[in-house]
Amino acid sequence: MPSLIEAKGLDVNKQGKEILKDVSISVNKNDFITIIGPNGAGKSVLLECLMGTFSPDRGEINKKDNILIGYIPQNFNPDNSMPISVERFLMLRKKFTGEELKIISDETNILSILSKKLSNLSGGELQRVLLARSLLGNPELLILDEPAQNLDIKNQLNFYNLLNEIYQKRDISILMVSHDLHMVMASTKQVICLYHHICCSGEPQAVAKDPEFITLFGNDMAKMMSVYQHTHDHSHDENLND
Amino acid sequence: MIEPFLIRAIIAGIGVAIITGAIGCFVVWRRMAYFGDSLAHSALLGVALGLVLGISTNLGTMIICSVFAILLIWLQQKKVLATDTLLGILAHAALSIGMVTLSLLERSVDLHSYLFGDILAVTNHEIYLIIFGGIFVLIFLFFNWSSFVLTTINEKLAKSEGLNTLFNQLLIMLLMTIVVAVSFRIVGLLLITSMLIIPAATARQVANSPEVMAIVSSILGIFAVMLGIYLSLHFDTPSGPSIVVASVVIFISILFFTFLRKN
C-alpha cells in the first residue's frame, strides 16, 4: 500500500546549523506516530517539510495525490485585538455544510462554545476548536505540533482521550510531536525519537529500551515509559484472555 | 450654499475615513502601529522626491513608501536587527534625508501642511487620487479578506492551508502605503497613524466580528472627520489635529459607555 506521505533523506540547515540530517520517514494509512525529542531537535521543521510549507535543502517528499492534511500549529494564541467567534473562525476559508459543522462540533465537544469569542476560550477549549477546524473537510492525516503543550494535566488527559477516540472512530492517520509521551502510550503505535537525525524508532516499549533514547532523555523517562507500557500490556493481555 | 472647498473637504474626508478605517483594523490586529508611523515619516522623503523629479508628491510618496515596506520585509527576513530597531533607523533616515532635501530645494515648501495636513485646501486632483486609490484598496481587501484575517490570526495555520503568508503580509503593507500616500494631505504625516488606529480601536469596543469591526471603524472615522471639519471651521483651529481630537473624543465616549454597560 502506498504511503500517505513519504520523505527520504531530508537535510535542513539554518544559519549554518544542521537542523535535520538525513531524515527519512513515512506515514501510512491508520498510523499513529509520535515524534519525541529535546527542544530544538528539528521536530517542527520536520512537520513543516512534510506539509510542504518549508523546503528542505536536500531530500525528496512524496505525498499521495490530493491528500488533505489537518494541522494544529504549536503555541496558538489568538490575540484579543480581533473580535471573532469560534464559528466564524471555523468558517474562515472553509466550505462546509451546517450538518458537517454540527457533527464535528459534537465530536470535539465544542457545540456549546460556538458563539464564544476565540480569545476568551480556555486552553482546553481552544485546542478542541483547533482540532475541530483540522477535521473539517475530512482529512486523511492529522499533523499536530505539541497540541497539549499549554494544558494542565487534566486537560492534557482529556485532549489525548478525545484524540484517541477520533483516531478509533475515523479512518485517519495521526502524526504528532509531543513531550507527553507517558500520556499517549496507550494510543501511539510508533515512536520516532528525533535529535537532528532519527535516533531510534519503533514501538514505544522498544524505543524506551534503546540506548540512544536513554542518553537523550535519561533513565527516568525510560522507566516511566516502561511503567506505562506495562499497565497497557497488562490490560491488553486480559482482553486476549476474555 | 455650501462653499466648494467645504464640499471637497467633506468628500476627501469621507474617502480617507473609509479606507483608513478598514486597513486600520489590520494595523491594530497585527500590531503595526509603529510601522504605520514609520511609513508616514518616510513619506516626507517621498514628498521631496516628488518635488525634485517634478512628479506628483503623492506618487513620490507611494514610491518611497513601497520601497520602505519592501526593504523592511527583506531586512526582517534576514533577521539583521529587531523590527522596531529597523523601523526606527529606516523611518528617521528617510525623514531626515527628506527634510535636508526639501531645505536644499530652491523653492519654499509649506512643511507645516505636509506634517499636519490641510483638508480645507484639498484639490480636485487629490480627491481623484483618494477615490481611485480607495477603490483599489477596498477591492483588494474585499477579495483577500478571509486570507488576510486567517494570516493575521495564525501564520502557520494559514501556511498549512496553502496560503502564501509572506505575500499576504507584503500585500497588506503595500495597501497601507497606498492609504498613507493618498491620505497624508488630509491629517498630515505626523497624525496619519491616529486615523489608522483610533477609529479601529474604538470599533473594537463594540464589534463582534472582524467584518463588523472594519465597517464600524470606517463609519466612526467619517464621524470624526465631519466633527473635526466642523470644529476647525467654527473655532478656526488646524484641521488635521481637529479631526484627531474629534476621533479621540469619540473613542473616550464609547469606551466610557461600554464600561458603564458592562458594570
Question: What is the CA A214 to chain-centroid distance, rounded?
Answer: 23
B25, B77, B167, B209: which to substitute to probe chain A, counting the most A Cβ within 10 Å?
B209
Which residues have CB under 8 Å from A91's CB, separation 6+? none
d(CA A191, CA A210): 12
Chain B residues with CB-CB distance to A117 below 8 A: 208
d(CA B101, CA B93): 12
Which residues 135-174 of A have a C-beta within 8 angstroms of B?
143
CA-based nearest distance B145→chain A, Å? 9
A17 touches chain B (CB under 8 A): no
d(CA B29, CA B72): 19
Highest mean pLDDT among A40-44, B58-62, B141-145: B141-145
Does residue A138 have a pLDDT over 70? yes
The pLDDT value given to residue A224: 63
d(CA B37, CA B31): 12
The pLDDT value given to residue A227: 52
The CA-atom distances, in angstroms, between B222 and each of B22, B94, B126, B215, B250 are: 12, 31, 18, 11, 11
B161 touches chain A (CB under 8 A): yes
d(CA B212, CA B258): 17
Tell me if B177 sits within 8 A of A107, measured CB to CB.
no
Q: At residue A36, what are phi and psi to the nearest 5 degrees?
A: -120, 165
Q: Which of B2, B10, B96 minimizes the C-alpha distance to B45?
A: B96
Query: Domains (ranges, CATH) in chain A?
Result: 5-241 (3.40.50.300)
Q: What angle do CA B49, B168, B65 make, to 5 degrees?
A: 10
Q: Tell me, what DSSP letter sits at residue B1?
A: -
Q: At residue A161, what are phi and psi to the nearest 5 degrees?
A: -65, -45
B34 touches chain A (CB under 8 A): no
The pLDDT value given to residue A38: 82
Q: Please provide the average confidence, as pLDDT, over all residues in chain B.
A: 91
Chain B residues with CB-CB distance to A73 below 8 A: 154, 156-157, 160
The pLDDT value given to residue A238: 39
The pLDDT value given to residue A1: 59
Cell digits of residue B193: 497613524
Which residues have CB under 8 Å from A177's CB, separation 6+? A34, A35, A36, A43, A44, A47, A74, A144, A145, A146
The CA-atom distances, in angstroms, between A68 and each of A4, A102, B63 are: 10, 20, 41
Whose grid coordinates read 492534557? A156
- pLDDT tens digits, residue range B27-76? 999 999 999 999 999 999 998 998 888 888 888 998 999 999 899 888 88
d(CA A19, CA A43): 9
Contact B147 A93 (CB under 8 A): yes
Tell me if B170 sits within 8 A of B192, measured CB to CB.
no
Residue A100 amino acid letter? E
- pLDDT tens digits, residue range A79-113? 999 999 999 999 998 888 888 899 999 999 999 99
Average pLDDT over residues A24-42: 89
Cell digits of residue A93: 476559508
Residue B83 amino acid letter? T
SS3 track for chain A: CCCCEEEEEEEEEECCEEEEEEEEEEECCCCEEEEECCCCCCHHHHHHHHHCCCCCCEEEEEECCCCCEEEECCCCCCCCCCCCEHHHHHHCCCCCCHHHHHHHHHHCCCHHHCCCEHHHCCHHHHHHHHHHHHHCCCCCEEEEECCCCCCCHHHHHHHHHHHHHHHHHCCCEEEEECCCHHHHCCCCCEEEEEECEEEEEECHHHHHHCHHHHHHHHHHHHHHHHHHHHHHHHHHHHHHHC
Chain B residues with CB-CB distance to A83 below 8 A: 204, 207-210, 212-213
Q: What count of other Cβ atoms lies within 10 Å of the Cβ of residue B52?
A: 13
CB hemisphere CA count around B259 (13 angstroms): 7
Cell digits of residue B263: 458594570
Q: Which segments of B83-164 are extended strands (E)? A: none
Q: Which of B10, B17, B9 minimizes the C-alpha distance to B192?
A: B17
Tell me, what's the ipTM? 0.86
Radius of gyration of chain A (CA): 18
Contact B210 A84 (CB under 8 A): yes
Q: Which of A186, A153, A148, A168 minimizes the C-alpha distance to A107?
A: A168
Q: Please provide the average confidence, as pLDDT, over all residues in chain A.
A: 85
Of the listed ranges A125-139, B72-86, B128-142, B209-223, the one predicted with least confidence: B72-86
Question: What is the CA B11 to chain-centroid distance, rounded?
Answer: 17
Whose grid coordinates read 528525533? A194
The pLDDT value given to residue A226: 59
CB hemisphere CA count around B1 (13 angstroms): 3
d(CA B246, CA B228): 5
Query: Domains (ranges, CATH) in chain B?
Result: 4-190 (1.10.3470.10)
B127, with CB counted inside 10 A (0-12, 13-18, 19+), is middle
Which residues 189-218 of B have a C-beta within 8 angstroms of A?
204, 207-210, 212-213
- Smallest Cβ–Cβ distance between B29 and the set A69, A82, A88 belongs to A82
pTM to 2 decimal places: 0.89
